[in-house]
Homo-oligomer: A and B are copies of this chain.
Amino acid sequence: MDKKTPLILITNDDGISAPGIRTLISVMTQLGDVVVVAPDKPQSAMGHAITINSTLYLNKISKNGDAVTEYSCSGTPVDCVKLAVNEILKRKPDLCVSGINHGSNSSINVIYSGTMSAAMEAGIEGIPAIGFSLSDYNWDADFEPTKPFIKQIAAQVLEQGLPDGVLLNVNFPKLKQDEIKGIKIARQAKAMWQERFDKRQTPHGKDYYWLTGEFVNQDHGQDTDEWALANGYISVVPVQFDLTAHHAIQQLNTWNWNE
């Protein structure tokens, strides 16, 4: 095997100055050459949005000679990956890691998450990719306990690669390092957000809304990411971007489509 130093692309959705991405950078510099391309402002809940109707800016943040090359980008997390791959990196990276997200991206949150969309975009481009999230929304969250696990998971993906069309969604419980029981490979729990809109009025008398909501886990399986997190484990869900419900094709073929 080629012993060249791995090239690792790092992005996130909380913005380039978030503590979570700083932790991720500190771990990844132990594993390879690191290039960071991350949004210049928070882009949470952007899903897989891309910027097609406005311009994109890249700003080089790091100075020549810095150990890590860093760019901020005016676009979404997915834009960051596309720009990195096409405009910044001289070769396809060996790994793309996204996060560490401030807040969980387990279960259905994978759909809304900018962190996971960036990892998915890398996966679509054929790059082994991992999204990391910590179940703690605080800006001052303690990311220290995640470090050895992130290093182990990333090192393993660098060594073994990932199955074709698959990326990893890794979520950490909010626990101290010695309280973490280990890693569980899991499936996405069946859960959803029960929305509640907070309806208010502007000072000028116009109604407006804030989206709020409560996370509802309807899934009692012990093989889910939610179960793993609630029981002290780190959840690792293999995620795919082939959204075809293959099991439903046969059933739909029994319908009367062409009469």
Which A residues fall within an 8 A CB radius of B? 42, 44-53, 55-58, 78-79, 82-83, 85-87, 108, 110-112, 117, 120, 124-125, 152, 156, 160, 162-163, 165-166, 182-183, 185, 187-188, 190, 192, 195-197, 199, 206-211, 236-249, 251-253, 255-258
Give every chain B residue within 8 A of A210 (Cβ-Cβ).
55-56
Q: Is the CB of A49 within 8 A of B52?
A: no
Q: Is the CB of A248 within 8 A of B82?
A: no
Q: Is the CB of B57 within 8 A of A111?
A: no
Q: Is the CB of B243 within 8 A of A86?
A: no
Closest to A250 in B: B185
Q: Is the CB of A243 within 8 A of B87?
A: no
Q: Is the CB of A238 within 8 A of B249?
A: yes
A255 to B238, CA, bound (A): 13
A209 to B86, CA, bound (A): 11
16 CB contacts below 8 A, A to B, read A45-B50, A46-B49, A47-B78, A49-B112, A50-B112, A50-B211, A55-B210, A56-B197, A85-B195, A87-B197, A110-B243, A162-B248, A166-B245, A182-B258, A187-B244, A187-B249
Q: Specify which of B46, B85, B111 is in contact with A124 (CB 8 Å cutoff).
A: B111
Q: Specify which of B49, B108, B162 is in contact with A45 (CB 8 Å cutoff).
A: B49
| 7 more A-B residue pairs beyond the given contacts A48-B48, A85-B195, A87-B199, with a C-beta to C-beta distance below 8 A | A47-B78, A56-B197, A58-B209, A156-B257, A187-B249, A237-B243, A240-B244
A125 to B111, CA, bound (A): 13
Q: Specify which of B182, B192, B196 is in contact with A86 (CB 8 Å cutoff).
A: B196
A190 to B46, CA, bound (A): 24
Q: Is the CB of B125 within 8 A of A192?
A: yes
A239 to B244, CA, bound (A): 5
Q: Specify which of B87, B162, B240, B242 is in contact with A209 (CB 8 Å cutoff).
A: B87
Known: A87-B209, A243-B111. A47 touches B48 (CB 8 A): yes
Q: Is the CB of B239 within 8 A of A243?
A: yes
Known: A56-B211, A87-B199. A238 touches B244 (CB 8 A): yes
Q: Specify which of B110, B185, B208 is in contact with A57 (CB 8 Å cutoff).
A: B208
The smallest beta-carbon distance between A81 and chain B, in angstroms, is: 10
The smallest beta-carbon distance between A148 and chain B, in angstroms, is: 11
Give every chain B residue within 8 A of A253 (Cβ-Cβ).
185
